[in-house]
Structure formats: C-alpha cells, structure tokens
C-alpha cells in the first residue's frame, strides 16, 4: 500500500485520520491501486540544457560531469586565450554547448517521411474507395443511362407534362423539335 501513502501525502491528507472513501473520492481509485513510484524523477526546478536558436546561452553547461582532461582544460581556460590551440577552443565550446548554430540550422530530412506518409495514406484511401466501388456500392441504376433518359423525356413530352413553364412549353409539337 505504499503508492496509496505517497498519493495521500501528496494530497496533504493525514492518512490515519482520513477515511478510504474520502481518499478515493479525491483521487482516482485505479490510480491508487496500480500506480508505482519507481520511475526516474527529474527536478524541473533546476536549470536544464536545451539547444535553441532564440536563446543562445542555456542555463547550464552541456557537460555536467567533467573528466580529468576536461578539468585541466577548464583551468587552462582561465588563462590567456591566445595560448589555447584551435582544438582546445573547440573542446571548450563542446563542454558548454552541444551544437553550433550551423548545426542547429541544418535542415533535416523529416519532410521526406511526412510526404511518404501522406502518399501511403492517400494510396490506402484510394484502395478503400476502389474496394467499396466494386464490392459495397450497388451497380449504377438503369434510370441514369442515356437511353432510359431519352425514353423518359419522350414519354414526358407525349404526356405534355408542365405545358406552361416546363418541358412541354419549350417543345414544338408541330415540327417535333425544341423551340
């Protein structure tokens, strides 16, 4: 029952005096039963390292734990910089920062993955539509065929449907053609 104690302590409840019903009413019952407190916790109140273009100086250095060579290089850094070699200056930079600005600005090939995913999705959608057209949807009704519609139009003209404003008004019965 240690996860329960952790949750009740986090809620500010006094465990011996708080009933189980009140504790379960405040928190999720499933969370109390199955939550395990064995994860790695990160103290978010401490400064963190993050490479960003808009903030050039992170709150802390890239490398926290320094080797003996790194420590001697840090001591050498306190002296005049014209005595440092180019490689030592680069090594000092890499102690403080993970990436340079050109490395941060370098384009990634992620767009290829996105475009490929879009094409796969469109292809799959096309296959589903094709499958539905063949196996799901019924055949096209015969009333949509041109032959049927021509017969239907002739029948409507023979019956003189809508003689004032409709089909019959636009048909010349003496000549047998449209006005």
At residue 4 the predicted structure's pLDDT band, cuts being 50, 70 and 90, is very low
Q: For residue 131, is it within any domain? A: yes
Mean pLDDT of the chain: 83
Burial class (CB in 10 A: 0-12, 13-18, 19+), 91: middle
* Angstrom distance (rounded) from CA 62 to CA 98: 6
Q: What pLDDT sits at residue 71? A: 95
Strand locations in the chain, DSSP E? 171-172, 177-178
Q: For residue 22, is it within any domain? A: yes
**Residue 167 structural domain:** 142-178
Condensed to tens digits (0 to 9), the pLDDT of residues 78-119 reads 999 999 999 999 999 999 999 999 999 999 899 999 999 999
Q: For residue 40, is it within any domain? A: no
Same domain, 70 and 99: yes
């Amino acid at each position: 029952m240690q996860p329960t104690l952790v949750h009740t302590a986090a809620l500010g409840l006094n465990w011996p005096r708080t009933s189980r019903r009140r504790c379960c009413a405040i928190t999720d019952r499933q969370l109390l039963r199955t939550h395990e407190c064995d994860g790695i916790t990160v103290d978010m109140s401490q400064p963190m390292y993050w490479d960003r273009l808009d903030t050039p100086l992170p709150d802390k250095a890239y490398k926290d734990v320094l080797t003996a060579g790194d420590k001697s290089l840090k001591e050498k850094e306190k002296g005049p910089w014209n005595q440092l070699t180019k490689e030592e200056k680069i090594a000092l930079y890499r102690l403080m920062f993970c990436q340079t600005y050109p490395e941060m600005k370098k384009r990634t090939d992620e767009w290829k993955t996105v475009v490929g995913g879009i094409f796969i999705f469109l292809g799959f959608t096309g296959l589903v539509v094709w499958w539905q057209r063949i196996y799901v949807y019924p055949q096209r009704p015969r009333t949509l065929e041109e032959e049927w519609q021509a017969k239907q139009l002739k029948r409507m003209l023979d019956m003189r449907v809508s003689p004032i404003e409709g089909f019959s008004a636009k048909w010349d019965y003496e000549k047998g053609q449209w006005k």
